[in-house]
Amino acid sequence: MHIADGIIPNVWCGAAHGISWSALYWLGRRIETEEVVRLGMLASASFAISLIHFPLGATSVHLGLYGLAGILAGKRAFPVIFAALLFQTILFQHGGLVSLGLNATNMGTGALLAAAVWRTGLLPQRARAFLCGFLGVLTPALLIALEFSLTGYGKGFWFMAALYLGAATLEGLLTVAIVSFLQRTRPALLAARP
């Protein structure tokens, strides 16, 4: 789901860098000291789980815990996702430095949408947890398919986004399991964050 350098026009990538760096500043400013460990652990978990790949059709996918980041970090999920993506880019060439802003914007949007869903409290906790995990994966897949369509890069990316329904379901189930565990052991971590 990472966009490599040279696929999307550099103008788009530059604009996405502007968006992602602005979001990084506005959503990450005034981080409290007690948040640092939790945010670091979330970024580490997102990075570590991305190393486990599952075959899916003609490609492979990995989990990202974007929905869980939205639940546990609220708006701070964007800096968490950005940090994990930066290390994935530098160490494993998942994406590229030119497209990092675009990847961060796509995946960070999924995490922020999950944070918004979690805050609503309209659904039972397990249903919200599933939806957060599901949307955390499906939102970036749809955004990438849209970007590829708008730039005329290849065909079939809407089909690839549809394949991500399986990954989104798996991430939703994993998010439910983690939220259920945290509800039993550390319920204060699940308090909705701004």
CA atoms within 13 A on the CB side of 80: 33
pTM of the model: 0.90
Q: What's the pLDDT tens digit per position in 22-64? A: 999 999 888 888 889 889 999 999 999 888 877 776 677 788 8
What CATH number has the domain spanning 10-190?
1.10.1760.20
* % of the chain with per-residue pLDDT over 90: 58
105, 68, 30: which is closest to 180 by C-alpha?
68
Q: What's the pLDDT tens digit per position in 71-118? A: 999 999 999 999 999 999 999 888 889 999 999 999 999 999 999 999
Between the CA of residue 180 and those of 36, 149, 175, what are the distances in Å? Answer: 23, 38, 8
Q: Could you give the residue ranges of the DSSP H alpha helices within 50-124?
A: 66-73, 77-92, 100-120
CA 31 to chain centre: 20
Ranges of each domain in the chain: 10-190
Q: What is the CA radius of gyration of the chain?
A: 16
